[in-house]
A = this chain, B = another copy of it.
């Protein structure tokens, strides 16, 4: 039974708490949050104790910590937790600064303690089935990858300003998805972007619509499309053309009801946002972490993966700013 300390009792921390408690191999032992009443409410619900992060990290009865705090604390907590010998699952991103993330990566490497980064989409049943089919060579040699990733609505401007920008905040998931499916990082990144959804996002120095093209050493190409607004719901699709066929992972829908009238044939919308879409992914992610932590094996998403995606975000940002392609080796 893995004894788990949860750092952060916000929205995503609550999702993780249910999975920790619901898993037959783990239990929620302690919860911390900068806002103590939030930690208390969550702890009460699952019979856990409330503690500070420091107390949790120094508690010898805690085997693992799940870091679901604000982004700016991730790298410090990863370093402290691994130094304390805990197994770590940390929400993405490692940090908004590639430099800081790389420093963390170096620090952690010396501990030999595994850190798993929360790229939850790898555990979505649709994307994981697609990746498994690719790995099984069901469509032969991969050639052209397309990732569509649209949020239902832009975040508040206040969030946009501290988010690190679309490439680091939103597309980072898609960079990791490209790495997950292609099995390696690209050589070069080209970004085109605009703020056509909301000019205020542009005025804040960010973009809301972007197309990033990735090229690989062997001629493969990947395209990632992001928009901050798809009014019909969370649009999360992946499509890969290979030498023997095409694989597509399509959206999850709210239900399977279809209505045919004189106005056409209408089905349900995609599930609204990430909590609806990726709830099964969070549970599968936790299971994978528990399995790795118990067996001592390498977790399926590493700190290196987190840093690799961040480097691609950095390259995309530079490409957008300069208007030219950016070699990944240059960031």
Contacts and interface: CB of A to CB of B under 8 A. Distances in A.
Interface of A: 18, 22, 24, 45, 47, 125-126, 129-130, 133, 138-139, 141, 143-144, 146, 148, 150, 190, 192-197, 209-211, 213, 215, 218-221, 223, 225, 227, 229-233, 235, 241, 243-270, 323-325
A47 B229 CA distance: 45
Given A230-B241, A245-B262, A250-B257, 6 more contacts: A126-B256, A230-B246, A232-B265, A247-B257, A265-B269, A266-B267
Given A144-B227, A146-B225, A263-B266, A126 B209 contact: no
Top 7 A-B residue pairs of the complex, sorted by shortest distance between their CB atoms: A194-B219, A245-B261, A196-B219, A232-B260, A250-B256, A246-B260, A266-B266
A205 to B, nearest CB: 15
27 contacts: A18-B22, A24-B45, A126-B256, A126-B257, A133-B259, A139-B261, A144-B227, A150-B241, A190-B213, A193-B221, A194-B215, A195-B219, A196-B218, A209-B221, A211-B213, A213-B213, A223-B223, A231-B243, A231-B261, A232-B262, A232-B264, A244-B261, A249-B257, A265-B267, A265-B270, A267-B267, A324-B325
B256 A264 contact: no
B192 A215 contact: yes
A18 B283 CA distance: 15
Nearest to A128: B255
A12 B243 CA distance: 29
Contacts of A223: 211, 223, 225
Contacts of A211: 144, 213, 221, 223
A254 B249 CA distance: 12
Contacts of A262: 231-232, 244-245, 269
Given A129-B257, A264-B266, A325-B323, A221 B194 contact: yes
Contacts of A245: 230-232, 259-262
B225 A235 contact: no
